[in-house]
Amino acid sequence: MEMESYHFANLGIHEELMQDLRNLENRMKEELGYEIALIAYTKEADGLPSK
């Protein structure tokens, strides 16, 4: 995976989606026994969807 072509996705205004990610991280930690960090990437340079 070429990371230079990806940018962090801007999920700041989507608190419900952010909470879903946190909940899944917690569930994965409970089931796997170690912490997992889920990171949202996009190919859009500013992290926002193209119009």
pLDDT range class, residue 17, cuts 50, 70, 90: very high
Evaluate whether residue 50 is within a structural domain.
no
Evaluate whether residue 33 is within a structural domain.
yes
Domain extent, residue 33, equals: 3-42
Number of domains in the chain: 1
pTM: predicted TM-score of the whole model, two decimal places = 0.71
pLDDT range class, residue 49, cuts 50, 70, 90: low
Q: Give the contacts of 20 (CB within 8 A, at least 6 positions apart).
A: none
Report the alpha-carbon distance of residue 51 to residue 44 in Å, rounded. Answer: 11
Spatial CA neighbour of 23 closest among 8, 31, 10, 48: 31
